Structure 1
Amino acid sequence: MTQLGRKYSIKALFAILFVFGLGATLYIFGNESGIVSDSSKTLTDKKEELFILSKHAMVQKEILDSLNTLKVAYDAAILEKTTLSEQLEFEKKNIENLMEIIKASKNPSIEQIILYRKQLSDLRNSLNSSVLEVKKLKYQNKNLLSEIENQNVVMYKQKTENDTLVSKQKKLESTLKDASKLTANNFKVVALREKKSGKELETYKAKNAQKLKVSFSVNGNSIAKTGKKIFYVQVLDQKNNVLGEDKIVEFGNNKALVYSFIVATDFQGKPANVYGILNADESHFPKGTYFVNFFDKQEIMGSTSITLE
């Protein structure tokens, strides 16, 4: 090969090496760009997740703060010592139960936050109504007492009218007390296992728990409406999932409730015991603590819990 030929061969070799090196460089930089892009996307997703969790925690704290403020307001109303004090004590207990439920919630879902807000709104509306009723009752009592005192200074012929006013006052207080809402107590939940014979035995072991039996007692009330009375039961697992039917019932005015199942009783004005059964989705319930809430429509009546080992 001549010297000129060798010179052209060397130049061609350098050109090939240059093209190959440029392609490899572009491939490496392209892969690095893809890695950086994927890392940025993962970091963004984590930031969004942390932001959502932080926002939910802030909302949860705001609801608890509002409930605590509401509880203080109930204490002030109870100090008025009217015929509504017993009812106010019961509603205050509802607040405390709801606060315990929210405190026990870990990373609540949007649906739970909406439910908590609705329950807070219901309790606040109930307080406003009760406060107005207390003021009205005090005003009426004050007016009646004033009229009675004024009638005491007139002639004997006015005594009958005075007695009538006193009778009206007592009748008003009695009516307010008897017309109170239905109340319940003795909230219980037990886990059951069923033997081959069909007999059911109570258990605290998760591997044996096939059913959750919930029960409570409705207090008697001769003034309350009689007939079929429906109550809603909400069972939450350790992940705050609503077990059972997991259905939503709407009561109007943007009020709704997510419940596990329904229980009913034929209320005739006398005390009644109510119970219901929740079967495990699989062969048994997983380990953990289960919270059970009892509702009369959208109003929570009480709560209880059970821990399966």
Structure 2
Amino acid sequence: MNNQYKNNWFKTFFALLLGFGLGATVFIFSNELHGGKRKIKAARSINNLSITDDGFLEQQSILDSLSTLKAAYDVIILENAVLSDELELEKRNIENLMEIIQASHNPSIQQIKIYRNQLVVLKVSLDAKMAEIKKLKSQNKNLLTEIESQNLVMYKQKVENDTLVLKQKKLETTLKDAAKLSLSNFKVIALKEKSSGKELETEKAKNAKKIKVSFTVNGNSAAKTGKHLFYIQVLDQKNAVLGENKLIEFENDKALVYSFIVATDFQGKSANVYGVLNADEGAFKKGTYFINFFDKQEIMGSTSVTLE
């Protein structure tokens, strides 16, 4: 009987021990299962967070690059008026892309890829514009060098031309001066008339009926030959012009009041010329008379005569 009792107790204890072991095993497995799920969820959350952070950083990197491109366009627009319209258009494309990226929250990998491709296109466009500007600057530099060279040549030519013109003017002046007639041997005498008609020199004003002037036209082979006129101006004590008292105007806006004209046929050789001024009414008055000899408006010589 005692053995039967012990066997029954042992079976009961073994059954309790087996049940407790199964419960503990189920509890531990269940906890491990839930713990694994939590780890999986946590890992997924970490992965998602990593993907989001990478997208943000990539998005910010693209925006920074676009800002750099925009700043580069601001600089070259100020320096290049010729391409300003094209450069402004490229700059506006950059600003539009920046606005699109800034408006995009949590962009996908595909969106980031599109933005990156567009950034590359804009960079290539900037490089092309820079190359074009560099080419234009080189062309402008060459053009400026060519213009400076041409200006130097033109300046030298102008200096040479001015020198030639000056020499030509000097030559013309020399030839003109060489072709001018010169006068010499200026003489003036008062004449009286005898009843026989013979004329004699006198110094008495009451006897003087004429004032005779004479001079020599010096020979000059360079001077123009043919008829030549000389203007004689006789001034009395009051500085009044005697004789014809006529006014003649010349091409250079100069004028002369003369007493009478002396003409000669000049043929390149020396010639003695004379002219006579008759008293207007009776004899000349006492005093000194001044006589000026003109070739057109240019005075060639002067002399005087005094009558007592």
Q: TM-score, normalised by structure 2?
A: 0.49
Greater length-normalized contact order (CA 8 Å, ≥ 6 residues apart): 1
Q: Which has the higher Rg, Structure 1 or Structure 2?
A: 2
Q: TM-score, normalised by structure 1?
A: 0.49
